[in-house]
Amino acid sequence: MKFLSSCIFVNLLCMALALPSYMSPRSHKKAPGVPPASFSADPSINVTGIYAAALASNTDMLASYPTTPGRKFIANIYGDWQNLENVSAFHFMANMDVDCDGPKEHCKGNRDGQPLTSFGALDATQVPYFVLPERFTREFKSILKDNALGAIICDSQIVYGIYGDQNADRPEVIGEASILIGQTCFPNGQMNGGNGHSKNDVAYIVFGSTVPPGIGRRTIDIQALKEIGDSQMKLLQTALGL
């Protein structure tokens, strides 16, 4: 549970940089020899198409939260994918702050780590999880189960995670994931407890009623996460006509 953004002091610049990437998600190649993460999506899933669809889908707004305490960028959470055929999700675009809670709460740069996460003591270095504003999770309890599945599109790749923690800062901010997700998404981004990804170009898609099997107190079954993630994303792709 934390906030952090290297963008606090240069917010306008960051926004200016973020906007063009909305239009054309980068597709630069990964360094050769870096294997895809065990919780990243099957290559048959159309990353570019789903990302473009997420950007274009902006009706049925459920809530809005700033991505930094300075409130320079407000992320809108959209519910327009809640009633698609055979699949249901809500989504938003935001930055990515790094969460380092759990047994490794003292990771580099982390000033406000906590030994527990909202539904356990997930190890942020071992478990791909993301964080949602606490007020949102209370208000939308009917469409969001604890530990629900999410797909995060970052830097032209899709990784899966669970909704494992809540942000209760003042103000509550959005756009935050475990350090494992952060370093997987942005391997050259020096992601750590004190340094996140400041552009608001990360798509978060949350399948609020789908909870992966195999979630323990500190660790989860990564293979089970990937399987259910791929199946939900394939349903989403089909429902979006991609």
Ligand X SMILES: *[C@@H]1O[C@H](CO)[C@@H](O)[C@H](O)[C@H]1NC(C)=O
Shortest Cβ 34–ligand X spacing (Å): 22
- Contact range with ligand X by CB under 6 A, out of 18-26, 41-49, 71-79, 96-104: 41-49
User: Using the rule CB under 6 A, is 27 a contact of ligand X?
Assistant: no
The residue among 52, 87, 129 whose CA lies nearest residue 231 is 87
- Total residues at the site for ligand X (CB under 6 A)? 10
Q: Between residues 148 and 236, which has the closer beta carbon with respect to ligand X? A: 236
Residue partners of 153: CB distance under 8 A and separation at least 6: 25, 47, 50, 51, 54, 202, 203, 205
Does residue 48 belong to the site contacting ligand X (CB under 6 A)? Answer: yes
Q: Which is nearer to ligand X, 42 or 221 (CB)?
A: 42
Using CB under 6 A as the binding rule, whether residue 21 contacts ligand X is answered as no
Torsion of CA 40, 42, 44, 47, to 10 degrees: -10
Q: Estimate the crossing angle of helix 222-239 against helix 47-56, to 10 degrees.
A: 60
CA 154 to each of CA 41, 60, 97, 150, 236: distance values in angstroms, whole numbers, following the listed order? 12, 24, 13, 13, 18
Which range, of 30-38, 191-199, 216-224, 234-242, touches ligand X by CB under 6 A? 234-242
Rounded distance, CA 144 to CA 63, Å?
14
State the Cα–Cα distance between residues 122 and 220, nearest whole angstrom.
Answer: 8
**End-to-end CA separation in angstroms for the chain:** 36
Q: Please tell me the number of Cα atoms within 13 Å of 46 on its side-chain side.
A: 13
- The verdict on 238 binding ligand X (CB under 6 A) reads yes
If one asks whether residue 46 binds ligand X (CB under 6 A), the answer comes out as yes
* Contacts (Cβ under 8 Å, ≥6 apart) of 195: 4, 6, 98, 109, 189
Judged by CB under 6 A, which of 20, 49, 213, 216 binds ligand X? 49
Name the minimum Å distance from CB 209 to ligand X.
16
Judged by CB under 6 A, which of 7, 37, 52, 154 binds ligand X?
52
- From the list 32-40, 43-51, 170-178, 211-219, the region that binds ligand X by CB under 6 A is 43-51
- C-beta of 17 vs 55, nearer to ligand X: 55
Per CB under 6 A, 23 contacts ligand X:
no
Query: Contact region for ligand X (CB under 6 A) — 4-12, 32-40, 161-169, 232-240?
Result: 232-240
Select from 164, 155, 161 the least CA-distant residue to 181: 161
State in angstroms the smallest separation of the CB of 49 from ligand X. 2
Choose which of 32, 33, 85, 170 interacts with ligand X (CB under 6 A): 85
Where does this chain bind ligand X (CB under 6 A)?
A: 46, 48-49, 52, 85-86, 235, 238-239, 242
